[in-house]
Amino acid sequence: MNNLSELRIELVKGQKLAMQGSYQRRAPLKKAIPHLLVARKGLKDYVTQYPTNALAWQLLSEAEQYLLNYNEALTTLQNVLSLGDKDKKLLKRLAMLTEYGSRWQELEMTSEQLESLEIYLQEKLELYGCNHTLIYTREWLDINVLSSKKSKVVRALQNQGGFCDCEVLMNVVD
Ligand SMILES: [Zn+2]
Protein backbone atom coordinates (compact mmCIF):
# COMPACT_ATOMS: atom_id res chain seq x y z
CA MET A 1 0.00 0.00 0.00
CA ASN A 2 1.73 3.19 -1.08
CA ASN A 3 -1.06 5.46 -2.15
CA LEU A 4 -1.76 8.24 0.34
CA SER A 5 -5.53 8.19 -0.07
CA GLU A 6 -5.60 4.42 0.46
CA LEU A 7 -3.51 4.84 3.59
CA ARG A 8 -5.86 7.49 4.81
CA ILE A 9 -8.86 5.17 4.30
CA GLU A 10 -7.07 2.47 6.27
CA LEU A 11 -6.30 4.92 9.08
CA VAL A 12 -9.90 6.16 9.27
CA LYS A 13 -11.10 2.53 9.41
CA GLY A 14 -8.80 1.95 12.38
CA GLN A 15 -9.86 5.19 14.07
CA LYS A 16 -13.53 4.29 13.77
CA LEU A 17 -12.99 0.82 15.19
CA ALA A 18 -10.72 2.07 17.99
CA MET A 19 -13.56 3.41 20.20
CA GLN A 20 -11.19 5.36 22.39
CA GLY A 21 -13.37 8.28 23.37
CA SER A 22 -12.11 11.79 23.70
CA TYR A 23 -9.33 11.34 26.21
CA GLN A 24 -7.69 8.34 24.66
CA ARG A 25 -6.12 6.88 27.71
CA ARG A 26 -7.31 3.50 26.58
CA ALA A 27 -5.73 1.18 24.13
CA PRO A 28 -7.62 0.95 20.85
CA LEU A 29 -9.99 -2.01 20.56
CA LYS A 30 -8.21 -5.09 19.24
CA LYS A 31 -10.02 -5.14 15.90
CA ALA A 32 -8.74 -1.63 15.17
CA ILE A 33 -5.09 -2.43 15.69
CA PRO A 34 -4.33 -4.21 12.39
CA HIS A 35 -5.71 -1.23 10.43
CA LEU A 36 -3.74 1.25 12.50
CA LEU A 37 -0.55 -0.78 12.12
CA VAL A 38 -0.96 -1.13 8.36
CA ALA A 39 -1.64 2.60 8.07
CA ARG A 40 1.34 3.47 10.25
CA LYS A 41 3.70 1.18 8.36
CA GLY A 42 2.55 2.54 4.99
CA LEU A 43 2.75 6.14 6.17
CA LYS A 44 6.23 5.62 7.58
CA ASP A 45 7.36 4.31 4.20
CA TYR A 46 5.56 7.16 2.51
CA VAL A 47 7.27 9.92 4.50
CA THR A 48 10.63 8.27 3.93
CA GLN A 49 9.96 8.59 0.23
CA TYR A 50 8.24 11.99 0.37
CA PRO A 51 9.61 13.75 3.46
CA THR A 52 8.06 17.08 2.54
CA ASN A 53 4.50 15.81 2.36
CA ALA A 54 2.83 17.50 5.34
CA LEU A 55 -0.43 15.54 5.05
CA ALA A 56 1.40 12.23 5.25
CA TRP A 57 3.21 13.37 8.42
CA GLN A 58 -0.07 14.51 9.87
CA LEU A 59 -1.77 11.18 9.20
CA LEU A 60 1.22 9.35 10.63
CA SER A 61 0.94 11.45 13.75
CA GLU A 62 -2.72 10.46 14.09
CA ALA A 63 -1.89 6.78 13.69
CA GLU A 64 0.72 7.06 16.46
CA GLN A 65 -1.75 8.88 18.67
CA TYR A 66 -4.38 6.17 18.27
CA LEU A 67 -1.75 3.59 19.14
CA LEU A 68 -1.02 5.69 22.25
CA ASN A 69 2.55 6.50 21.21
CA TYR A 70 2.33 10.10 22.28
CA ASN A 71 6.02 10.87 21.92
CA GLU A 72 6.08 9.67 18.32
CA ALA A 73 2.79 11.45 17.64
CA LEU A 74 4.38 14.65 18.91
CA THR A 75 7.60 14.32 16.95
CA THR A 76 5.76 13.62 13.72
CA LEU A 77 3.40 16.54 14.30
CA GLN A 78 6.40 18.79 14.84
CA ASN A 79 7.57 17.71 11.39
CA VAL A 80 4.27 18.97 9.95
CA LEU A 81 4.79 22.31 11.66
CA SER A 82 8.39 22.56 10.51
CA LEU A 83 7.16 22.17 6.94
CA GLY A 84 5.46 25.52 7.39
CA ASP A 85 1.87 24.49 7.98
CA LYS A 86 1.06 26.24 11.24
CA ASP A 87 -2.70 26.43 11.34
CA LYS A 88 -4.58 26.74 14.60
CA LYS A 89 -5.94 23.21 14.57
CA LEU A 90 -2.44 21.77 14.38
CA LEU A 91 -1.19 23.95 17.22
CA LYS A 92 -4.17 22.87 19.31
CA ARG A 93 -3.37 19.24 18.61
CA LEU A 94 0.23 19.83 19.56
CA ALA A 95 -0.85 21.22 22.94
CA MET A 96 -3.26 18.33 23.46
CA LEU A 97 -0.64 15.69 22.65
CA THR A 98 1.84 17.34 24.98
CA GLU A 99 -0.71 17.23 27.78
CA TYR A 100 -1.78 13.63 27.17
CA GLY A 101 1.82 12.57 26.87
CA SER A 102 2.82 14.08 30.19
CA ARG A 103 -0.24 12.73 32.01
CA TRP A 104 0.41 9.30 30.65
CA GLN A 105 4.04 9.49 31.60
CA GLU A 106 3.28 10.80 35.08
CA LEU A 107 0.96 7.86 35.78
CA GLU A 108 3.53 5.31 34.62
CA MET A 109 0.76 2.82 34.01
CA THR A 110 0.10 0.87 30.86
CA SER A 111 -3.33 0.97 29.26
CA GLU A 112 -3.75 -2.67 30.35
CA GLN A 113 -3.12 -1.64 33.96
CA LEU A 114 -5.61 1.21 33.71
CA GLU A 115 -8.18 -1.21 32.37
CA SER A 116 -7.50 -3.63 35.22
CA LEU A 117 -7.86 -0.82 37.78
CA GLU A 118 -11.10 0.24 36.14
CA ILE A 119 -12.59 -3.25 36.43
CA TYR A 120 -11.40 -3.58 40.03
CA LEU A 121 -12.94 -0.26 41.07
CA GLN A 122 -16.19 -0.93 39.25
CA GLU A 123 -16.64 -4.21 41.11
CA LYS A 124 -15.72 -2.83 44.52
CA LEU A 125 -17.78 0.34 44.21
CA GLU A 126 -20.79 -1.57 43.03
CA LEU A 127 -20.60 -3.79 46.09
CA TYR A 128 -19.52 -1.34 48.78
CA GLY A 129 -19.87 2.18 47.36
CA CYS A 130 -17.29 4.94 47.72
CA ASN A 131 -16.33 5.97 51.25
CA HIS A 132 -14.49 9.09 50.01
CA THR A 133 -11.06 7.53 50.31
CA LEU A 134 -8.73 5.73 47.93
CA ILE A 135 -9.03 2.44 49.80
CA TYR A 136 -9.77 0.23 46.78
CA THR A 137 -7.38 2.09 44.53
CA ARG A 138 -4.68 1.48 47.14
CA GLU A 139 -5.64 -2.19 47.37
CA TRP A 140 -5.20 -2.52 43.64
CA LEU A 141 -1.89 -0.64 43.75
CA ASP A 142 -0.65 -2.97 46.53
CA ILE A 143 -1.07 -5.91 44.20
CA ASN A 144 -0.08 -4.35 40.89
CA VAL A 145 2.47 -1.59 41.43
CA LEU A 146 5.89 -1.68 43.07
CA SER A 147 5.62 -0.30 46.57
CA SER A 148 8.36 2.23 45.86
CA LYS A 149 6.21 3.72 43.10
CA LYS A 150 2.93 3.75 44.94
CA SER A 151 2.96 7.25 46.39
CA LYS A 152 4.03 8.70 43.07
CA VAL A 153 1.11 7.03 41.31
CA VAL A 154 -1.30 8.23 44.00
CA ARG A 155 -0.08 11.80 43.51
CA ALA A 156 -0.50 11.46 39.74
CA LEU A 157 -4.04 10.16 40.22
CA GLN A 158 -4.84 13.12 42.46
CA ASN A 159 -3.34 15.52 39.92
CA GLN A 160 -5.93 14.21 37.51
CA GLY A 161 -8.84 14.68 39.87
CA GLY A 162 -8.84 11.30 41.58
CA PHE A 163 -9.10 12.01 45.30
CA CYS A 164 -11.38 9.09 46.13
CA ASP A 165 -12.19 5.79 44.42
CA CYS A 166 -15.24 7.03 42.55
CA GLU A 167 -13.29 10.04 41.27
CA VAL A 168 -10.44 7.82 40.11
CA LEU A 169 -12.98 5.78 38.21
CA MET A 170 -14.70 8.81 36.76
CA ASN A 171 -11.83 11.22 36.12
CA VAL A 172 -8.84 9.02 35.48
CA VAL A 173 -9.39 5.50 34.30
CA ASP A 174 -12.73 5.72 32.53
ZN1 LIG B 1 -15.89 9.04 45.90
User: Do residues 31 and 101 share a domain?
Assistant: yes
User: Do residues 65 and 151 share a domain?
Assistant: no
State the pLDDT at residue 22. 53
Instruction: Tell me, in angstroms, the distance from the centre of ligand 1 to residue 146's CA.
Output: 24
Instruction: Tell me, in angstroms, the distance from the centre of ligand 1 to residue 98's CA.
Output: 29
Alpha-carbon span 43 to 158, nearest angstrom: 38
Q: Count of domains in the chain?
A: 2
Instruction: Tell me, in angstroms, the distance from the centre of ligand 1 to residue 169's CA.
Output: 9
Q: Report CA dihedral (159, 165, 170, 171) to the nearest 10 degrees.
A: 0
Alpha-carbon span 115 to 26, nearest angstrom: 8
User: Do residues 80 and 162 share a domain?
Assistant: no
Instruction: Tell me, in angstroms, the distance from the centre of ligand 1 to residue 131's CA.
Output: 6
For residue 119, give its domain range. 111-173
State the pLDDT at residue 37. 94
Instruction: Tell me, in angstroms, the distance from the centre of ligand 1 to residue 130's CA.
Output: 5
Show which of 52, 79, 106 is a domain's final residue: 106
Instruction: Tell me, in angstroms, the distance from the centre of ligand 1 to residue 64's CA.
Output: 34
Show which of 106, 126, 145 is a domain's final residue: 106
Higher pLDDT, 141 or 173: 141
Kindly state the DSSP code that residue 20 receives in the 8-state scheme.
-
pLDDT digits (tens, 9 = 90+) for 114-145: 889 999 999 999 999 999 999 999 999 999 99
Q: Is the pLDDT of residue 2 over 70?
A: no
